[in-house]
Structure 1
Amino acid sequence: MDKDKFAAAIEAGEPLIEQSMEALKRYWEARDYGAPPDELERLRLHSESLAQAVSDYQLRTVSKLMGNKLPPLH
């Protein structure tokens, strides 16, 4: 695995990681301040969705860099 390609791929995913961390922070803050249950659920789902996107991105990136062929996402 080419270290430069790996570093570039991970760096490309950093904005998504930041979005995921911010969404989690918003959820925790809302929970701590007693937000209504429907708002908490919306924030939780948004946070989980972004965390899953980060995980999927990282898995696909490493798999591709290791030479694996992956099916399209759609």
Structure 2
Amino acid sequence: MKDLEEVMAAGKPLMQQATEALRIYNEAKGSVSPEEELRLWREAEYLFEAVHEFQRRALGWPVHSLH
């Protein structure tokens, strides 16, 4: 799967999930406990990292170690 359009299409559900998590985090900032705010931020951050790694792997680029 080397074509950029194919890679983007294949990763679209994960990107949508990451974007939604970021939206939820931004809406919750200041209105939830600091612990919940941190949890939401970590979830969004994790998902965007997953998108990045998926795209790198799908394009055959060097990837970061998973451990």
* TM-score by shorter chain over 0.5: yes
Bigger Rg over Cα: 1
1:24-71: CA deviation from partner (whole Å, max 9, x where unpaired)? 000000005x2110110110110000000000001111116xxx8x7x
For 2:4 and 2:36, the matched residues in 1 are separated by 38
Structure 1: state its 5+ residue gaps: none
For 1:58 and 1:47, the matched residues in 2 are separated by 17
Q: How many residues align?
A: 64
Runs of 4+ in 1 over 6 A off after TM superposition: none
Name the Cα RMSD after superposition. 2.2
Give the partner amino acid of 1:9: V
Q: 2:11 is matched with which residue?
A: 13
Task: Choose the corresponding residue for 2:24, options 23, 26, 31.
Answer: 26
Q: TM-score if structure 2 supplies the norm length?
A: 0.80
- Is the aligned partner of 1:45 residue 2:42? yes
